[in-house]
Chains A and B, each alone.
Chain A
Amino acid sequence: MIDTAACVNDTVYRLGFQSLADLAANAQWLIQAELYQFADDAVRRLSYEVGLFIGYDNSITAVAGTAVYNLPASHVFTLAAWLDQQPLRITTVRDLWALDGTWSLTTGLSKRCSMDAGSVGTITLYPNPELGGTLAQICQEFPATISALASTVQLPSVLQDYLTYAQLAAARGKESQARMEEMAAHYGQRMAMYEQIMEHLWGAGQ
């Protein structure tokens, strides 16, 4: 578990301030909320670039006669899905058409799901379920928004410095009197290195 407040405390000094109070009192080019925002941006990027945030979601309850459901707000990609413990095979809409010319009208025990049959952000069950149940998924997702009031993120503590470098890269790269482009570029390289290591250890994103 990482508390991004620790990253902010570290970043503040490395940007030339003595403390958060000094930042608040004297900085004309950066505020504390921006640093949390930079960390949040980095984590959201990781959620699709690298397969770091995987979770089990069972928040959707399917009902008989309804095939299309909105995916959870934090959903990025579905790795596996079940309806009432019946495994669902992830299938493209092209294959559904090939399988069944009237697939959208077919009812029965759902055995497949499609991520592109409905609009973006929905999952479509095939056949249209005759029985409801819990729609469970193993998903790639993004974590809750990072802010000063909710600063923790579920990542191994060895990745703390990735978020610090994300803050430094963004802070040194933004248009200001404290801009240091060569350092922003170096911090970006450090982040890229971390991402390669993450991909090796925990898998690529989708």
Chain B
Amino acid sequence: MRTLVSQRLNEGASGPVYYPAAEIDAALNEASRFFCLLTLGLETTQPWSVPAATTFTHMLTVFPDWIVPLRLTTATGAKVRPARIAELQSRDPFWINSPGTPERYNHSGCDFLALYKQPATPGTVLQVTYARAPVPMAADNDIPETPAEYHPRYVDYGIYRMRQGEGAQEFAKALPYFNSFLDGAQHYAAYVRSRNLGSRYDAVPFELESFDRSELLKLRKDLVPNAGVTA
């Protein structure tokens, strides 16, 4: 994939010089992270040994690739349902110290998870399905974990990012590549959203359809050097 970006930047024959390989790798990894953030397209289910008598957990300390929870279930398969803090307060004023089998959870902030109720003894294992971050790519033949039909969009993103350093009109020429990347992410996010709703997951991807891209995809001509200067 690195080679593809290099070729599209017209350095394919002689190898990367002006756009070094390490920087192309960084661009592709950025594309991979952003694609997963936009689409929640990578998910995993992992067992979580819930600490005894503990209400609050920062999930990034448990799962370093955490983004958002999609589903929590007990060992018997029962769903631990999401709830707001106010709902937990209404349900049980003493919810932060209520021993028992987990029934509800609250996810606040990027990784703060509160359990109601809290297992009194160790040994309780919850199955946690969550949207995860991608594994970084390092080699030329590494491929993104997302579906292959979207991989050309990563190359587009690589071109867009590599040309940021040039600025002005040269960068403006690369903005359609970013739009192409966003189109791909929007398409896949729509699939993931409908799938997550059908699966009764607790989170859906951001709606790129309702995001106004107009400012993002236009270079402000009034800020470009020599703007307004006529020959």
A interface residues with partner B (beta carbon < 8 Å): 1, 10, 13-16, 51-56, 79-80, 82, 85, 87, 136, 138, 140, 154-161, 164, 168, 180-183, 185-186, 189-190, 193, 196-198, 200-203
- Check A154–B58 contact: CB distance below 8 A: yes
Would you call B220 an interface residue if the criterion is a C-beta within 8 Å of the partner chain's C-beta atoms? Answer: yes
B108 within 8 A of A: yes
- Known interface pairs A182-B220, A196-B211. Does A13 touch B23 (Cβ–Cβ under 8 Å)? yes
Is there contact, CB below 8 Å, between A157 and B133?
Answer: yes
Q: Does B159 contact A (CB under 8 A)?
A: no
CB distance from B24 to the nearest CB of A (A): 11
- B60 at interface, CB cutoff 8 A: yes
Q: Which of chain B's residues have a CB closer than 8 A to the CB of A160? A: 33
Contact, CB under 8 Å: B111 / A154 = yes
Whether, in the assembled complex, B122 has its beta carbon less than 8 Å from a beta carbon of chain A, the answer is no
Distance in angstroms from B42 CB to nearest chain A CB is 10
Q: How far is the CB of A198 from chain B (nearest CB, A)?
A: 8
B113 to A: closest C-beta gap in Å: 10
What's the Cα separation between A202 and B89 when bound, in Å? 20
Query: Contacts A138-B85, A181-B223; is A157 near B33 (CB within 8 Å)?
Result: yes
A196 & B206 in contact (Cβ 8 Å cutoff): yes
5 closest Cβ pairs, A-B complex: A54-B109, A181-B223, A182-B223, A54-B112, A158-B37
Please tell me if the beta carbons of B108 and A203 are within 8 angstroms of each other in the complex. Answer: yes
The answer to whether A197 and B38 touch (CB under 8 A), given A1-B60, A87-B94, is yes
